[in-house]
Amino acid sequence: MKIKEVIVVEGKSDTKRINMAVNADTLETRGSAISEETLEQIEELHEKRGVIVFTDPDYSGEKIRKTIREAVPGVKHAFLNRSEAAPNHKGSLGVEHASFEAIRAALRNLYTEQPEGQVLITREDLAIAGLILGADAKKKRRELGEYLHIGYTNGKQLYKRLNLFQITREEFAEAMRYINKMEEQDGK
């Protein structure tokens, strides 16, 4: 699988793992404190080839995404679920631990953020679906993030992410039907 865009990752281990899974060029941020020089490089690469942000599904990874999103609007995003980024459920969590298939799947399911303003999914939709209120809200948000390949978020960030990535009402409804069906099967 050849990737045209440059993939922005956190470090050398991520680059190594990505290059074992796909044919791609990467740019490493070297941590969550991204320099102005690195942001300028990302902006230039975005204009020339396109950029895919592919960070770990943790606090630092989300911080990097936010920094890049604010500095370079319109970049694409690839997400790993926490379980895909920590297959052994021990130690660190990251792209460098993901299977080749999980990496390829994340790179096939890209999202591009859209300008803020258009609301497709409301906060009321999230409340009705049990994603921001209730004992199972966190579990449902995790399952929704996995199903839609948008990563895990808290309730406040879920609203923003669903709308930034222009998740349609139909996609949202399909995901919730699947999640509810799985919960019913688990409850039997």
| CA-wise closest residue to 154 among 62, 31, 34 | 62
* Burial category of 11 from C-beta neighbours within 10 Å (exposed 0-12, middle 13-18, buried 19 and up): middle
String of b and e for 145-168 (b: at least 16 CB within 10 Å)?
A: bbbbbbbbbeeeebbebbbbbebe
For CA atoms 111, 116, 120, 125, the dihedral sign is positive
Domain residue spans of the chain: 1-113, 116-188
pTM of the predicted model, to two decimals?
A: 0.73
What's phi and psi for 42, nearest 5 deg? -60, -45
Least confident of 22-31, 39-48, 159-168: 159-168
Instruction: Dump pLDDT digits (tens) for 103-157.
Output: 999 999 888 876 665 678 999 999 999 999 888 999 999 999 989 988 888 888 8
Q: Please give the Cα distance from 105 to 109 (Å, whole number).
A: 6
Q: Which helix (H) or strand (E) holds 111?
A: strand 111-112
Q: Look at the domain 1-113 and name its fold.
A: Dna Topoisomerase Vi A Subunit; Chain: A, domain 2 (3.40.1360)
Instruction: Dump pLDDT digits (tens) for 54-81.
Output: 999 888 998 999 899 889 988 999 998 8
